[in-house]
Structure 1
Amino acid sequence: MLRALYRALWWIVAPLAVLRLFIRSRRERGYREHIGERFGHTAGRPRDDLAPLIWVHAVSVGETRAAEPLVEALLRARPDARLLVTHMTPSGRATGERLFGSRVARCYLPYDMPHTVRRFLRAWRPTLGIVMETEVWPTLLDECRRADVPLVLANARMSARSYRRAARFGGATREVFGGFSRVLAQSPADAQRLTALGARHVAVLGNLKFDMATPPDLVARGRAWRAAIGTRPVWVAASTREGEEGLILDALAAQATKDALLILVPRHPQRFDEVAALVERRGVRLARRSQWGGEAKPAAAPGPADMAPLPADVTVLLGDSMGELGAYYAAADVAFIGGSLLPLGGQNLIEACAVGVPVLIGPHVFNFAQATADAVAAGAAQQVSDSADLARVLDELFSDRGRRITMGAAASAFAARHRGTTERTVEVLRALMEA
């Protein structure tokens, strides 16, 4: 009954979803492109192409970046296969294009309706499907099972909050989660919840995000920016969400360290102008990354001295660029991870740890609870309760260089200690394809 109701609702939701795409396209034009793909209309691959096709679904930017080490490993492990990467957002698609270029095919995953999913599967004929983290679509699972396409939930996580919501649907939930051929969980707690929801063949392999390497050129770029900024304290607020920037600006105003520079990096690019306007309304001098800085120079070329110094009266540098988060971390003395001051679940702190920067994170981390708890236990991160507490801890860290060095070293060691999930995941996928 629930399954029939779910499918019926999609006939109502689909036209509204298209309308929403056009509304969102006023801020991010990519939403009005490739709309046919959202209904399964895609060129697919030629009928005479008999190579195995591995399909990876990564909904948006975070999942696409988390999938990067896995996609690269699959390209190396199966040079005989083609790879398809699907997304749901234009920013995720753009990230995939930047990371993988023409080495993979790409399109949007269709809406979760039987005829659209069948059309997609007929066009691409995947040998194996891999969906990342929390992407559970009932009709997609049904149609993959009908088409004899094994579907794997990789880097799987299930927060306590999401578990309670899913468990309300009882047998229907168990039927859905039981449709995965394999579930590769990030942690024992995730595995326990997923098993309770009906998932079979569950294994704990760790978090793929630990295998995300920050490119050396990004680190060099961030170091060059730091030299051009000067000696004043620098902190980055990364992946901030709507409603959080005001709290972060409150923390900036409350700091005793009045010469500190805040690098403010909103998670969603369509909000760059909105956040810039918010900063300016506060009467704070703002500079935008898109209008300042540059690429790191080769060793033999002129160094950062030929970059324009950031004016000393600039208090906020807006990170209005894509693909440079590692550089922002490398330019900072301390990193605050957004999505955590409000009950939004937090964001990934692993990349900041890998760069070796001390990490602060708010109280709301239910989407990244295990990684946060492990980082705090390792001395790599510290949780703050609110914006006032954030200001207080920032002042403490800025006045204690030894503590910053200790936390940064612990962060690097923490990230290194948990690597290896990609290799374990590829072994499971290889066995599944050869079975």
Structure 2
Amino acid sequence: MTRRPTTLPLRLYRLGMQLATPFAKALLRPRIRRGKEDPTRLPERFGLASRARPSGQLVWVHGASVGEMIAVLPLIDRLRARDFEVLLTTGTVTSAKLAADRLPPGVIHQFVPLDAPRFLTRFLGHWRPDLVVLVESEIWPNLLLEVSERRTPLFMVNARMSARSFARWQRTARSVKSLLRRVDLCLAQGRDDAERLARLGAPRVSVTGNLKFDAPPPPVADRTLEALKAALAGREVFLACSTHAGEEDAVIAAHAALKTRIPDLITLIAPRHPERGMEVLRLATGTGHPAVLRSGGYLPDRGTDIYVADTIGELGLFYRLARLAFLGGSLIRHGGQNPIEPIKLGCAILHGPHVMNFAEIYSRLDQSYGAEAVTDADSLAKAAYALITDEARRLRTVKAGQATVAALGGALERTMAALDPYLVQIRLEKHTLKDRESTR
């Protein structure tokens, strides 16, 4: 069986990426201007490593952004405990900054190369991974083709395939089948994900659950936490996190309604994209609510109504300060945000109707009364008021949410059980090769 592109769309895609390669730097300039690329590490996007390859057996783990990176951290810990070197790649500036704080010692982070044959050949030639692990839904044609060409074992873990993505991939059914058949093992989050991936052509699919349920809560610096606690002392804190354009207006309107009944209220808004902090500040001040930016080094004082938390890697801090949190990306048709971390840290959860990216967990939470759904600014204000003023109700919501999350755990153990035979085989093959070389 040929391991090169087998369908016309794949051949055309590969050719297009080859033709675009000389213009890669120019094509990335708009992203650099928008802060979407790190200009000091741009060579990594072209497959040029900024670090030496460690001498041991290397597992390359790739996840798109922050969510995938956090989900796979416990898996990286397990790989390191088995004496495998780990290279983690991501594609966003935000995830790279978080990696600097959260990755275990010895784990190397690089930006993933652009999906062009020349860059991937250069990347793979330097790192020579013994195993490749793709997290969630990272199906890049040339990446899969180049890894397959080298006959390197290739796994998908925490794999997911939404109904929307499934419908899109079905339009090129033969091409996606040609790609997915190169995956040695596909470990899916849920039954629906597994069924869709199998129908698209993944040959060995099993359900192991969602690794995000087993990820530890994000750490926080004690000194930073105490400073913000002191600034917020005596005030009721309402958190709106991972918000998107179109949602902050509803949050600010809800804050205004709540403020008439809870005078000491302060609302923390943490936009999903921190670079939108100034935009959120203008929305707040434009409606008469005094606001400050955390990125400016400010702490809230008694006159602050809205505290715009436009920083990276501090959600764990804000979850520890609030008794309830509205999870953004859900009042608009974005698909919702992951509720697991705030639930583990004791927040009661509010969310909008558009949570298709996390449909299973929100469905289970709503059924167990471990979260509450809202639809607009008015229902958000009413639900938040009920939880703030009725501590028994809030605690029931938190406990139900935590019980639901705990019941959905165990994916890490199941994932490692599936990977272990391959890890043992890789180690045996390396030892056999060393033995042969020593007897020559």
Cα 1:186/1:359, change in 2 over 3 Å: same
SS at match of 1:25: helix
SS at match of 2:33: coil
Residue 23 of structure 1 pairs with residue 30 of structure 2: yes
Task: Tell me the residue number matched to 1:351.
Answer: 341
How far is the alpha carbon of 1:232 from its aligned partner? 3.6
Task: Tell me the residue number matched to 1:379.
Answer: 369
Structure 2: give runs of 5+ residues left out of the alignment: 1-7, 426-440
In 1, Cα distance between the equivalents of 2:373 and 2:202?
32
Q: For 1:247, give the aligned amino acid.
A: A
Task: Tell me the residue number matched to 1:179.
Answer: 182
Give matches, 1:231-380, under 5 Å. Answer: 231-255=234-258, 257-259=261-263, 260-290=265-295, 291-292=297-298, 310-380=300-370
Cα 1:101/1:69, change in 2 over 3 Å: closer
Residues 57-104 of structure 1 show CA distances to partners (whole Å, capped at 9, x for unaligned) of 12212211112111122212x22x211011111111111121126511
Contact kept, 8 Å, 1:357 with 1:411, in 2: the verdict is no
Task: Tell me the residue number matched to 1:38.
Answer: 45
Match of 1:203 among 203, 206, 229: 206
In 2, Cα distance between the equivalents of 1:330 and 1:286?
21
Contact kept, 8 Å, 2:187 with 2:206, in 1: the verdict is yes
Q: For 2:69, give the aligned amino acid.
A: T
Contact kept, 8 Å, 1:59 with 1:88, in 2: the verdict is yes
In 1, Cα distance between the equivalents of 2:26 and 2:245?
22
Give matches, 1:106-121, under 5 Å. Answer: 106-121=109-124
In 2, Cα distance between the equivalents of 1:15 and 1:372?
45
Cα 1:212/1:366, change in 2 over 3 Å: same
In 2, Cα distance between the equivalents of 1:280 and 1:141?
49
Residues 144-165 of structure 1 show CA distances to partners (whole Å, capped at 9, x for unaligned) of 1110111111111111111111
Higher relative contact order (CA 8 A, sep 6+): 1
Contact kept, 8 Å, 1:40 with 1:110, in 2: the verdict is yes
Residue 10 of structure 1 pairs with residue 25 of structure 2: no
SS at match of 1:431: helix
How far is the alpha carbon of 1:139 from its aligned partner? 1.2
In 1, Cα distance between the equivalents of 2:161 and 2:424?
29
Q: For 1:69, give the aligned amino acid.
A: P
How far is the alpha carbon of 1:17 from its aligned partner? 5.8
Contact kept, 8 Å, 1:191 with 1:203, in 2: the verdict is yes
SS at match of 1:432: helix
Q: Under a length normalisation based on structure 2, what TM-score does the superposition of the two structures give? A: 0.87
Cα 1:254/1:179, change in 2 over 3 Å: farther
Contact kept, 8 Å, 1:183 with 1:199, in 2: the verdict is yes
Contact kept, 8 Å, 2:133 with 2:154, in 1: the verdict is yes
In 1, Cα distance between the equivalents of 2:56 and 2:422?
16
Runs of 4+ in 1 over 4 A off after TM superposition: 11-17, 215-224
- Greater Cα offset, 336-345 or 413-422: 413-422
Q: For 1:24, give the aligned amino acid.
A: R
Contact kept, 8 Å, 2:294 with 2:308, in 1: the verdict is yes
Cα 1:23/1:92, change in 2 over 3 Å: same
Task: Tell me the residue number matched to 1:51.
Answer: 56
Contact kept, 8 Å, 1:73 with 1:422, in 2: the verdict is no
SS at match of 1:33: helix
- Greater Cα offset, 137-146 or 21-30: 21-30
Q: For 1:207, give the aligned amino acid.
A: N
Residues 110-162 of structure 1 show CA distances to partners (whole Å, capped at 9, x for unaligned) of 11122221211111000111111111111111111110111111111111111
- Greater Cα offset, 151-160 or 121-130: 151-160
How far is the alpha carbon of 1:34 from its aligned partner? 1.8
Contact kept, 8 Å, 2:231 with 2:301, in 1: the verdict is no
Task: Tell me the residue number matched to 1:304.
Answer: none
In 1, Cα distance between the equivalents of 2:42 and 2:133?
23
In 1, Cα distance between the equivalents of 2:21 and 2:245?
26
SS at match of 1:264: strand
Residues 254-282 of structure 1 show CA distances to partners (whole Å, capped at 9, x for unaligned) of 44545322110012222223322332223
How far is the alpha carbon of 1:12 from its aligned partner? 5.9
Same amino acid, percent of matched pairs: 36
Cα 1:215/1:89, change in 2 over 3 Å: closer
How far is the alpha carbon of 1:292 from its aligned partner? 4.1
How far is the alpha carbon of 1:215 from its aligned partner? 5.0
Cα 1:113/1:21, change in 2 over 3 Å: closer
- The CA RMSD over aligned residues, in Å, is 2.3
